[in-house]
Structure 1
Amino acid sequence: MELYQHFRKEEHPFIDQVLEWKDTVSRQYAPKLTDFLDPREQQIVQSIVGSDEDVRVSFFGGVPFAERKRAFLYPPYIEPDEGDYDIVLFAVRYPDKFISLEHRDVLGALMSLGLRRGKFGDILVQGGEIQFFAAAEVADYIRLHVETIGKARVTLEPLPLSAAMPIEETWQEGTVTVSSLRLDAVLAQAFRLARDKARTLVESGLVKVNWRVVDKPDFVCGPGDVLSARGFGRCKLFSVEGPTKKERWLVRIGRQK
């Protein structure tokens, strides 16, 4: 099918899912709400559904700047509002004067509940404050079962979405040259690492491309890819300007501040 040619092979199962969602909305003339999707998944949904006259799609993650968002696929007669996305905001209350919690502590506690990652949206951490978004259908279960995060005893307080902390991602952009568009080469340049060090990180399963673990150093990166390496942060390949006279690639990369 020609559609699949525009996507990487590992994305084909998700494309099948999106096509199924689209078909269901079209046949039943009723809306479909998805779990929280990462930005790459949102991009795929938009590209597949966006031009359809019978099925429309919009995204919301609790706040406009959210990275992870639920998709709402719907027939043209519906005008969606925030309530259609069934999102709950929780504040984590804990003794922050004595214990420090990080994003990974919160995610680890949530994932230990046995729920899919898609049931949780963004986790907001600023100073000692922590908030996170969750799907409303599992909110009661989360509130009942999350009693500790890391070494801290916690309570979860539901808040209106309007009370979310205003955190937006910013990128420090620059143009650099890389020897190739291989993952280890781009990673080495983005984080100023030795190529061998970058290769080891990839092979150890510590690197993600578009929120998926990639353990092959020869994976070819492309415009729009978001790369993250555990312990080093996140970068984004904004554009590939083309080869230079010395057979290197000129690329525009941003590192998350």
Structure 2
Amino acid sequence: MDLYQHFRKEEYPFIDQVLSWREEVTTRYQRKLIDFLHPREQRILRSIIGNDEELSLSFDGGWDHAERQRAILAPYYEEIADSDFELELLQATFPDKFVSIEHRDVLGAFLSAGIKRKKIGDIVIHDNVIQILVTEDISAYLIANITGIKKAGIQFERTALSERLISQDQWQSRTATCASLRLDLLIKEMYQMSRQQALILIKKGFVKVNFQTIEQPAFTLEEADMVSVRGKGRSRISELQGMTKKDKYRINYEKLL
């Protein structure tokens, strides 16, 4: 059976990468440390590696239930320690009485410094404290080069993973039924709007799935997909629960409050 038929065409390059990692580990008998993956990529990696008895697959994103996580693919007999994931937690403070800093501001500053998204894990902001998880190999560069976000002077420092803050994100679980898993129909349900409004947002490029802009209303959503709509927040498909008696899809999704 063709492996690729189970995935979207735009995911083929990532599938090729996963197969290359698997080949590398099985032929060289050396572990592979993988940069941060978003939930859909994690799901694909798990699906392809499956129950391969010759390999072990581990994930770590710093926080419990972290959205983005690094992975280690290794021969089955190797033991994996937390330190093997080479994670670094950076922390900075800002004067929250004078400036408001959000997740997108922090991410934007890091990307503007030339850092690839795959090198950055989850970001937590609580009161006037910013914490961000990164790969060890870029932490020194970030500390030296990220000195401001918006209008606030910022100085990041390394801090122990044991000092990580609890994420303030609150996800509310909801259920819905849809005639299909088309993007426009699911946005209509998840964001409580008309289908026409959903179509307009999609056509304007205001909708992302797994952090990629999608402008096709007929795009089909799957489990573990992350959906974001500009100005209306994020949602994620947590489970496809099968069909109703009226042949509609029953889905469970979570919406960020």
- Shared fold (TM-score greater than 0.5)? yes
Instruction: Report the Cα offset of residue 153 of structure 1.
Output: 0.8
- Summarize the Cα distance change of 1:173–1:126 in structure 2 as closer, same or farther, 3 Å threshold: same
TM-aligned CA deviation for residue 128 of structure 1: 2.3
1:9-30, Cα deviation, whole Å (9 max, x unpaired): 1111101001101111111111
After TM superposition, the structure 1 stretch with the greater mean CA deviation from structure 2, 141-150 or 43-52, is: 43-52
Structure 1 stretch displaced more, 118-127 or 101-110? 118-127
> What is the distance in 2 between the residues matched to 1:121 and 1:15?
21
User: Which one is further off, 164-173 or 116-125?
Assistant: 164-173
**Residues 244 and 250 in structure 1, CA contact (< 8 A), matched pair in contact too:** no
Which residue of structure 2 lines up, in the alignment, with residue 97 of structure 1? 97
Residues 69/168 of structure 1: CA separation in 2 closer, same or farther (3 Å cut): farther
Aligned-partner Cα distance in 2 for 1:224–1:67: 11
Cα contact 2:43–2:224 (8 A) shared by 1: no
Q: Give 3-state SS (helix, strand or coil) of 1:155's partner.
A: coil
> 2:175 and 2:65 mapped to 1: Cα distance?
26
* Structure 2 partner of 1:154: 154
2:170–2:256 CA contact under 8 A, matched in 1: yes
Whether contact under 8 Å (2:35, 2:119) holds in the other structure is yes
- 2:75 corresponds to which letter in structure 1? P
The CA deviation at 1:82 is 1.0
User: What is the percentage of aligned positions where both structures have the same residue?
Assistant: 41
Which residue does the alignment assign to 1:182? 182
Q: How does 1:204-219 map to 2 (within 5 A)?
A: 204-219=204-219
Which deviates more, 49-58 or 169-178? 169-178
1:38 and 1:94 map into 2 onto residues whose CA distance is 28
Q: Tell me, yes or no, if the aligned pair for 2:54 and 2:75 is still in contact at 8 Å.
A: yes
Q: Which amino acid aligns with 2:162?
A: S
- 1:113 alignment partner in structure 2: 113
How far is 1:203 from its partner?
A: 1.7
- 1:239 is aligned to 240
Matching residue of 1:38: 38
Deviation, 1:94, is 2.1
Distance 1:58 1:184 in 2: 35
Structure 1 unmatched ranges of 5 or more: none
Quote the RMSD (CA, aligned, Å).
Answer: 1.9
Q: Aligned to 1:62, what secondary structure does the other structure show?
A: coil
Q: What are the ranges of 5 or more consecutive residues in structure 2 without an aligned counterpart?
A: none
Structure 1 counterpart of 2:7: 7
Partner residue of 2:165?
165
Which amino acid in the other structure matches residue 76 of structure 2? P
Structure 1 52/177 Cα, relative in aligned 2: closer, same or farther at 3 Å?
A: closer
Q: Does 1:144 align with 2:150?
A: no
TM-score between the two structures when normalised by the length of structure 2? 0.92
Aligned residues: 256
Contact 1:241 1:252 in 2 (8 A): no
User: In 2, are the aligned partners of 1:65 and 1:167 still within 8 Å (CA)?
Assistant: no
Q: Could you tell me which residue of structure 1 aligns to residue 87 of structure 2?
A: 87
- The answer as to whether partners of 2:95 and 2:128 remain within 8 angstroms in 1 is no
8 Å CA contact retained: 2:94, 2:129: no
Amino acid in the other structure paired with 1:254: E
Question: How has the CA–CA distance of structure 1 residues 177 and 86 changed in structure 2, closer, same or farther, with 3 Å as cutoff?
Answer: same
Alpha carbons 1:72, 1:85 under 8 Å: kept:
yes
Moved more, 112-121 or 235-244: 235-244
Q: Distance in 2 between matches of 1:250 and 1:87?
A: 38
Instruction: Report the CA distance between 1:243 and its aligned residue.
Output: 5.1
